[in-house]
Structure 1
């Protein structure tokens, strides 16, 4: 396998389905060795089998990003397997949507823990390896919801927090040859957006159609659209792009 990520190893959290799987697949297609953690054991087994059938080097492990020891162990195992850790994609996420007055403590805490503590845990574990190697690409998956979205006070806050986290890491880690950037997806067709349709009581097809009507390019997003932006940030040649957030939403977001 040849490509711009040949001899590179990537680690993707929440990579068993949706955007995470799309990112992992895109990086693998361009030569990267792939490490994936997720809490969904069944989906992990499926993605591991799929990648192996395609001839890609893959390491999968069931781990909860909220638990530092689990994340640290998985990253060390992936590093020992591949001999390097060059790209970290913090993709793991959950939604617990509700209007503020209906939102429960656990709805808030779960979303904050998975998105923010999860990213913190993964970066804390990975940066030791990257700093020693004087090279790294950290990409955090934010969202257009960071700009505010009805019924997502928890999710919007977490995704905005990831942007602040991204910019701070860029400042702290840049001198070690490590860049940190974020991709903020708009409406992407995934299992998570299907859950949104269920929550608001409409069919997924109707949700897609309603979303497309608001998107200037006239189509909804796919996981590969996000993977393409992640690959740009992950590229060795993107070494002067640091602390940036790119909105991949089919139109401008401000």
Structure 2
């Protein structure tokens, strides 16, 4: 079945960058020091397939252009990449190990912001219409009791049309996965604000009600920042003439890497 690959091109990504410049500059003077840019899929995992490209190739091209623009605009800002080539992140053996590496890399790097770039695919829409009945004959019973049975079987015509889905959408971690995000905040000691790499203090105990409440405040603050930035991204897409599908969450299944990183 043919699938339509919805592309976020580097050209339109630059529109986002120009619109975010003031926001990033303001934050970088305060607490935004490290951005982790994650090009989705890669290597053995091509992601969605289009007629001329794969999600892994497109997301990598966009990630590298986006990172380069950030580096040129904000020389003091550290931009890290989960991958720079067509390989699974961390050269891992499968997708699950690759995703765990992405989250671990972002957390251990002390990232202040995690940006994952993907391209969705939309399968062709399948249609059917009733074209009549066909008479089917069969026999039941044995010997003298054998008899003929006929029945009408409906017949349908099937065809597909291209999926009209298009545009952009920005996902943030799901509030339904709040416990996972709190756990990521706990594991990301530097972002939690309690320790540095030379500290001899122990990590806060998540079983302590007071410490868990504090980690929850951090997670809620990250959610607000994620929502604010995602909304700004989609508004910039609209301003550049693109169709926005809005800011979204996956509250039932979640997006694992988003709730596994201890940062917005």
Length-normalised TM-score, structure 2: 0.34
Higher relative contact order (CA 8 A, sep 6+): 2
Greater Rg by CA: 2
**TM-score normalised by length of structure 1:** 0.35
User: Which structure shows the higher strand fraction?
Assistant: 2
